[in-house]
Structure 1
Amino acid sequence: MNGRYDHVSRSSSTFHSPQASRRPKSPGPVAGAGEITNTAHGFTIELDVFQFAAEEIKIVLTDDMLSISGERFEYTGDGQTLRRSFERKYSIPEDVHLDTIRSHLTNAGVLVINGSRKGWRETSISTHRPAAYQKTTGRAGSVISTV
């Protein structure tokens, strides 16, 4: 390579060398980009954050920008500290009601964030159990059931 960017190629090759990837206690990816699902009625973001506890995750909504970050420190016992952190930012579309944005952390460590589009709203659906059947006998052989 005989160009002005030769030094970039050489220096970046050491970054990807087998020696650089074999550092002890080198963490893998902490959190992916997240899976975003857009539908006519809203959006859902699913972000794998299994390495973080709920209290280590911070979610902030500023105007139409949703920022998600997490940070934790692990003490290795041999005097070293391992810091894991991530930050993701998502721009919320104009047609989403900002007050409908909710989040929860699943038992599997997936952070789920969703919001509803304008024109759609969540409603609670109540369920009713059918009343117990009552058996009433009148004339011989007749059975009346009420529900």
Structure 2
Amino acid sequence: MGMVNLDVQQFAPEEISVKTVENSVVIEGKHEEKRDEHGFISRHFQRRYLLPDNVRPESIQSSLSSDGVLTVTAPKMAIEGAPNERSVPIVQTNEPAMIKGGENQTKE
């Protein structure tokens, strides 16, 4: 996994969750039905990334830029006994992600 960037600008910060489940990271965004210019829309996505053996679930970090890019990083280190599930806090950077060319972004 290493580092993942997701474009989540259509979701409010409180509508996004990042958590570790067993040996995976689960990123979820969900908002209920809202009205837009075409009618009503609800959005939901869930992505699951398998953690490499040399990454501890409790070391996962996440940040959210002001322009709606969620970055999740998984530092490599020796594995030890870890709890099976942990909520990962999302730090709002209040700055744009400034990713050049958009190669690392995944549109949802």
TM range (shorter): 0.5 to 0.7
Pair 1:66-2:25 in alignment: yes
Q: CA RMSD in A?
A: 1.9
Larger strand percent: 2
Q: Which runs of 5+ in 2 are unaligned?
A: 79-108
Q: Give the TM-score of the pair, scaled to structure 1.
A: 0.47
Pair 1:44-2:8 in alignment: no
User: Match for residue 90 of structure 1?
Assistant: 49
Q: Give the TM-score of the pair, scaled to structure 2.
A: 0.63
When the two structures are aligned, how many residues end up with a matched partner? Answer: 77
Q: Once the 2 structures are TM-superposed, how far is the Cα of residue 77 of structure 1 from its aligned partner?
A: 8.0
Q: What SS does structure 1 have at the residue aligned with 2:74?
A: strand
Percent identity between matched residues is: 30
Q: Which residue of the other structure, out of 28, 35, 53, is the alignment partner of 1:75?
A: 35
Pair 1:103-2:67 in alignment: no
Give the Cα separation in 2 of the matches to 1:48 and 1:110: 5
Q: Which runs of 5+ in 1 are unaligned?
A: 1-35, 37-42, 120-147
Q: What SS does structure 2 have at the residue aligned with 1:104?
A: strand
Q: Which has the higher contact order (CA 8 A, sep 6+)?
A: 2
Larger helix percent: 1
Q: Once the 2 structures are TM-superposed, how far is the Cα of residue 115 of structure 1 from its aligned partner?
A: 1.8
Give the Cα separation in 2 of the matches to 1:55 and 1:96: 26
